[in-house]
Chains A and B, each alone.
Chain A
Amino acid sequence: MRVRRRPTFAWVGVVPFFLFAIAALGLPVGFLVIGSFQNADGDLTLQNFADLSTGTIPRAFLNSIEISLVTAVGGGFFGFLLAWAVIMGGLPSWIRSAVMTFSGVASNFAGVPLALAFVFTLGNLGLVTKFLFDTFGLSLRQDLGFTLYSKTGIEIVYFYFQFPLMVLIIAPALDGLRREWREASENLGASAFQYWRHVALPILTPSILGTMILLFGNSFGAQATAFQLTGGTIEIATIAIGRQIRGDVLHNPGLGYAMAMGMVVVMSVVITAYTWLQRRSERWLRS
């Protein structure tokens, strides 16, 4: 039997894709990477990265990290409870589909409309603000020391897309809790609490942790919502970078690029950690 060896050019079929990726993604990111190692004269330097510890930049990153931690843990916690409630809490089944669809919408409702909606709710003339004042004589600002235009305010607003994101991503994991595990554990004499403690939560933990990490990344990279809400008065990493884009700051483009690199590093760590946790839980559940 003759075996004909022809050079395969099969990879040609994916060239358009990679060309586009290079043009729209590779070049821009590459530019940033290279630029972060250059100073104003174009020479190679690490100064930009050293400068990351100057000025308001550390504060910006710290604020971003703080907000992201709070919304990741809080969002993960309540999002998990909500997912549990509609999937396994004995509620009518139409509520599950409604919540899932709504979560799809709400996780998309970020950005300008969301910020505006919360201004209408908790802003100075907001519905809840007025309600609290008219009914209980409570002033949000004076008595509770709360203003929407703060880190806490951002966190409250961010929950609006963090909760649904958690619900959507953890729902399949909850579905993956096989009925037989619950039955086997009951059969072996365990109470509901023991089942959750020894079986269900351990099985779910990698997914929950992984999704919280995702929530962290989601919050870290968000820009439009906070910008619309605070007009840039609260210093967070994405807004600081935004300022660099506009050229609002001093003539040091390299610094902006270094900040961008900083963000990319954080996000890469996030994605890697998430992927690792996913693999781990998949391995267990593979049988």
Chain B
Amino acid sequence: MSFLELTGIQKHFGPVVAVEDFNLAAERGEFVSFLGPSGCGKTTTLRMIAGFEIPTAGTIRLDGGDITNRPPNRRNVGMVFQSYALFPNMNVADNVGFGLKVRKRPSDQIKKRVGELLELVHLGKMGPRYPYQLSGGQQQRVALARALAFEPEVLLLDEPLSALDAKIRVSLRQEIRAIQRQLGITTVYVTHDQEEALSLSDRIVVMSEGRIEQIGTPFDVYNFPTTGFVASFVGTLNVLPAAVVESGSGRLSVGGQEFRISRPVEARAGETISLALRPEMVTLGTGPEGSNVLRGTVADVSFLGSIVRMRIRIVDGVVVTLDVFNEPTLVLPQLQESITISFPAEGPLVLESVPVPVADVLALEA
């Protein structure tokens, strides 16, 4: 039996279905992310684990015990809120020690524990400060220390970094992961930022419109997305509409140009299917023996720092994005220039039979 189990969880708000058929078994010490766009139900599910919402159906078990209906102040889970929610009338030390104070621990014990935790989050001297005197990143660390002080069994984080600057976000998320590893605490992390989810998690739960799209390791979710939504939400993606020339040998064509893919094609000749192709699979030029080659014109060149992102128009409505590492010797192509790109036959994935509308996906990818 797993440490944290959600079985058949549903949540309805009147006629609105916020979460449908959510199942998850998380192991002790595992770092699981809920990833998805706004309104997908990830925060609602987190709040059900915390006890602020009661599931309409389903059960939540923690270390074997059923906590589905237990009030939030008796669940022994620690939550870090998106807005930090530090108590403004208390200084940092009192905030961190609050969980212990309400459990009636002796004050010298509280003091010691608070000191330990402030050290853990690198805020050792900040005890006497008040929240309004701290920066956003510091407040978030206090919130983390506060949630961990009473040694909860599970740590919940609700988009804790979304209000912070990009640089702080990156360094703070690494700190969070390091602390989590050090303490070995089971953690559920809600975010809409796929980079965060990919870099932090042992496993990711990708959600959309209240349902789970896919659960897997970051590697699996990124490289082997099982649905069009996952493919488009996680990482950038090219979606190619391709006409089937011959399904048995995987021959397809786009814009009059033929190419092959190695994955099985179920549609019949003449039908159109959607392919997912990662930019990093595409290279300039004709590539190694056996690669597919397509000709097109340069639609856009964007310099993004360490990489250069190019968009190549194969035919009207079909634009392929590819990334090239930036180096000083690089000669960037001109707009409207004719150009050749290539990708391996193993590159494209066939998206599910219910295709994501191309326009939507391209918009997402931009």
Instruction: Contact check, B83 vs A190: say whether CB atoms are below 8 A apart.
Output: no
Cα A187 to Cα B139 in complex, Å, equals: 18
Residues of A within 8 A of B101 (CB): 198
Instruction: Contact check, B130 vs A183: say whether CB atoms are below 8 A apart.
Output: no
Q: How many B residues touch the partner, as a band?
A: 20 to 34
Instruction: Contact check, A186 vs B73: say whether CB atoms are below 8 A apart.
Output: yes
Q: Could you give, for residues 223-255 of chain B, a 1 whenever the CB lies within 8 Å of some chain A CB and a 0 otherwise? A: 000000000000000000000000000000000
Instruction: Contact check, A183 vs B89: say whether CB atoms are below 8 A apart.
Output: no
Cα A184 to Cα B75 in complex, Å, equals: 13
A191: nearest chain-B partner, CB-CB: B73
Q: Could you give, for residues 76-117 of chain B, a 1 whenever the CB lies within 8 Å of some chain A CB and a 0 otherwise? A: 111101011111111000000011011100000000000000
Instruction: Contact check, B102 vs A190: say whether CB atoms are below 8 A apart.
Output: yes
A205: nearest chain-B partner, CB-CB: B89
B87: nearest chain-A partner, CB-CB: A199
- For residue A189, CB closer than 8 A to chain B, the reply is yes
Decide: A190 near B98, CB < 8 A? Known: A180-B83, A184-B87.
Answer: yes
- For residue B31, CB closer than 8 A to chain A, the reply is no
Cα A282 to Cα B273 in complex, Å, equals: 59
Number of interface residues of A (CB under 8 A): 22
Chain B proximity of A28: nearest CB distance (Å) = 42
Choose from B81, B99, B103 the contact partner of A180 (Cβ within 8 Å): B81
Instruction: Contact check, B85 vs A183: say whether CB atoms are below 8 A apart.
Output: yes
Chain A proximity of B19: nearest CB distance (Å) = 18
Chain B proximity of A26: nearest CB distance (Å) = 39
Decide: A181 near B73, CB < 8 A? Known: A190-B98, A287-B132.
Answer: no
Residues of B within 8 A of A183 (CB): 50, 52, 72, 79, 81, 85
A201: nearest chain-B partner, CB-CB: B89
Cα A286 to Cα B72 in complex, Å, equals: 27
A285: nearest chain-B partner, CB-CB: B88
Residues of B within 8 A of A184 (CB): 79, 81, 85-87, 146
Residues of B within 8 A of A203 (CB): 87-89
Instruction: Contact check, A181 vs B87: say whether CB atoms are below 8 A apart.
Output: yes
- For residue B167, CB closer than 8 A to chain A, the reply is no
Interface residues of A in 198-234 (CB under 8 A from B): 198-199, 202-203
- For residue A150, CB closer than 8 A to chain B, the reply is no
Cα A189 to Cα B71 in complex, Å, equals: 10
Cα A179 to Cα B90 in complex, Å, equals: 17
Instruction: Contact check, B85 vs A284: say whether CB atoms are below 8 A apart.
Output: no
Cα A185 to Cα B51 in complex, Å, equals: 13
Cα A209 to Cα B78 in complex, Å, equals: 34
Chain B proximity of A203: nearest CB distance (Å) = 5
Chain A proximity of B226: nearest CB distance (Å) = 34
Residues of B within 8 A of A198 (CB): 87, 90, 98, 101-102
Residues of B within 8 A of A181 (CB): 85, 87
Decide: A187 near B132, CB < 8 A? Known: A178-B83, A284-B88.
Answer: no
- For residue A283, CB closer than 8 A to chain B, the reply is yes
- For residue A188, CB closer than 8 A to chain B, the reply is yes
- For residue A194, CB closer than 8 A to chain B, the reply is yes
Cα A188 to Cα B89 in complex, Å, equals: 16
- For residue B55, CB closer than 8 A to chain A, the reply is no
Residues of B within 8 A of A287 (CB): 84, 86, 88, 131-132, 139
Instruction: Contact check, B99 vs A189: say whether CB atoms are below 8 A apart.
Output: yes
Q: Could you give, for residues 116-148 of chain B, a 1 whenever the CB lies within 8 Å of some chain A CB and a 0 otherwise? A: 000000000000001110000001000000110
Chain A proximity of B262: nearest CB distance (Å) = 50
For A186, A189, A191, the residue with the greatest tally of chain B CB atoms inside 10 Å of its CB is A189
Q: Could you give, for residues 234-254 of chain A, a 1 whenever the CB lies within 8 Å of some chain B CB and a 0 otherwise? A: 000000000000000000000
Instruction: Contact check, B72 vs A187: say whether CB atoms are below 8 A apart.
Output: yes
B98: nearest chain-A partner, CB-CB: A188
- 9 extra A-B contacts, CB within 8 A, seeds A181-B85, A183-B85: A186-B51, A187-B51, A187-B75, A187-B78, A189-B99, A189-B102, A190-B102, A284-B130, A284-B132
Residues of B at the A interface (CB closer than 8 Å) are: 50-52, 71-79, 81, 83-90, 98-99, 101-103, 130-132, 139, 146-147, 150
Closest 10 CB pairs of A and B: A180-B85, A188-B99, A184-B85, A202-B89, A284-B88, A190-B102, A186-B72, A186-B73, A187-B79, A189-B102
